[in-house]
C-alpha cells in the first residue's frame, strides 16, 4: 500500500479506488505535543472499532462524514478529503487546557457548550485561535466556519446522547473537518478524522472515573482496560488485542 501520510496515531494509505483513503490505527500514544510517548498494545484496534461504531451511528443523522467502512482490525476505508487545518474543540465541562488557561476548576459544568478552534500545527503547539484568525489565514471562509460550528453542535448533541446511554459523560472532544471535492461548484464540508477516547474526555457517570487518554497523559494507568470498557459498553465484539505486525 502507498503511504500518503504518517501522523502520531494513524497512517494514511492510498485507497483501492480514486477518492478513497485507508486509515490505519497505530498503537502509539503521545501527549503534550509528542513530548510524552509510549506504545500501548491494542490501542489502535480499540480506537478503530470505537471510531467505526460511532461513525456508523452517525448514519442515523444527516451529518455528512468521511467514514465508509471498517476493513480490518486496524484499518478503515474513508473518503479522501482536504483536511481543514483547524482542530475544533467542543467542551461541556471544564477540563484540561481550559482550566490552565482560564483558571476554571476541573469538573465544573460550563453554562453552555463551548466551541474553541486551534490551529493544527505541531511546530506552533496547536495554539487556540479565533474565527477571525481562520478567515485571515484563509484556512476556511466564513460560510465554512458557520457550517463547521453548526455541525459541531449537532455532533455534540448526538454523541452526548449515545454516551449517556452507556453511563458515560462526554466532557469535551476534538473534531476535524475536511472538504470533499465532488465535482460541484463548492466542496462539501464533512466530518473527518476519528472519534475515539484518544480525542474525547469521557468520565464514568457514577464514579467520574476517567475512561479516556487522560489515563496516559496523567500516568493513571489502565488505558487499555478503560478503552475496552467503553467498547464493551458500546456492545462492540472485540478481537484479541495483539501487537502491530
Pairing type for strands 3-6 and 67-70 reads unpaired
Pairing type for strands 168-175 and 200-204 reads antiparallel
Question: Cβ of residue 172: shortest distance to ligand TMP, in angstroms?
Answer: 4
Q: 15 or 212, CB closer to ligand TMP?
A: 212
User: Can you read off the three cell numbers belonging to residue 166?
Assistant: 452507556
Question: Cβ of residue 27: shortest distance to ligand TMP, in angstroms?
Answer: 17
Question: Cβ of residue 12: shortest distance to ligand TMP, in angstroms?
Answer: 17
User: Can you read off the three cell numbers belonging to residue 149?
Assistant: 460550528
Whether residue 244 contacts residue 46, with contact meaning beta carbons closer than 8 Å, is answered with no
Q: 144 or 212, CB closer to ligand TMP?
A: 212
Q: 208 or 242, CB closer to ligand TMP?
A: 208
Find the residue with minimal CB distance to ligand TMP. Answer: 96
Question: Cβ of residue 195: shortest distance to ligand TMP, in angstroms?
Answer: 10
User: Could you tell me the CA-to-CA distances from 45 to 7, 111, 114, 191 in Å, in that order?
Assistant: 16, 36, 30, 21
Reference 155, options 115, 186, 123; nearest CA is 115
Q: 101 or 181, CB closer to ligand TMP?
A: 101
Question: Cβ of residue 96: shortest distance to ligand TMP, in angstroms?
Answer: 2
User: Could you tell me the CA-to-CA distances from 116 to 28, 36, 157, 173, 226 in Å, in that order?
Assistant: 26, 24, 16, 10, 27
Q: 201 or 215, CB closer to ligand TMP?
A: 201
- Provide the binding-site residues for ligand TMP, judged by CB under 6 A: 89, 96-98, 126, 172-174, 199-201
User: Can you read off the three cell numbers belonging to residue 236?
Assistant: 462492540
Amino acid at each position: 500500500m502507498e503511504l500518503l501520510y504518517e501522523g502520531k496515531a494513524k497512517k494514511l494509505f492510498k485507497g483501492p479506488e480514486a477518492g478513497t483513503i485507508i486509515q490505519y490505527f497505530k498503537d502509539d500514544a503521545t501527549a503534550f505535543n509528542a513530548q510524552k510517548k509510549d506504545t500501548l498494545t491494542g490501542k489502535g484496534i480499540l480506537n478503530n472499532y470505537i471510531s467505526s461504531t460511532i461513525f456508523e451511528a452517525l448514519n442515523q443523522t444527516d451529518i455528512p462524514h468521511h467514514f465508509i467502512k471498517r476493513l480490518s482490525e486496524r484499518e478503515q476505508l474513508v473518503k479522501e478529503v482536504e483536511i481543514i487545518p483547524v482542530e475544533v474543540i467542543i467542551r461541556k465541562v471544564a477540563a484540561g487546557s481550559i482550566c490552565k488557561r482560564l483558571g476554571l476548576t476541573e469538573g465544573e459544568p460550563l453554562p453552555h457548550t463551548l466551541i474553541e478552534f486551534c490551529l493544527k500545527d505541531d511546530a506552533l503547539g496547536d495554539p487556540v485561535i479565533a474565527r477571525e484568525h481562520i478567515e485571515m489565514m484563509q484556512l476556511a471562509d466564513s460560510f465554512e466556519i458557520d457550517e463547521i460550528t453548526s455541525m459541531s453542535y449537532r455532533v455534540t448533541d448526538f454523541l452526548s446522547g449515545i454516551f449517556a446511554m452507556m453511563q458515560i459523560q462526554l466532557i469535551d472532544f476534538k473534531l476535524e473537518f475536511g472538504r470533499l471535492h465532488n465535482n460541484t461548484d463548492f466542496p462539501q464540508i464533512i466530518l473527518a478524522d476519528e472519534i475515539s477516547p484518544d480525542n474525547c474526555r469521557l468520565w464514568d457517570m457514577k464514579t467520574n472515573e476517567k475512561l479516556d487518554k487522560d489515563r496516559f497523559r496523567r500516568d493513571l494507568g489502565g488505558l487499555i482496560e478503560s478503552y475496552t470498557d467503553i467498547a464493551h459498553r458500546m456492545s462492540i465484539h472485540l478481537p484479541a488485542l495483539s501487537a502491530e505486525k
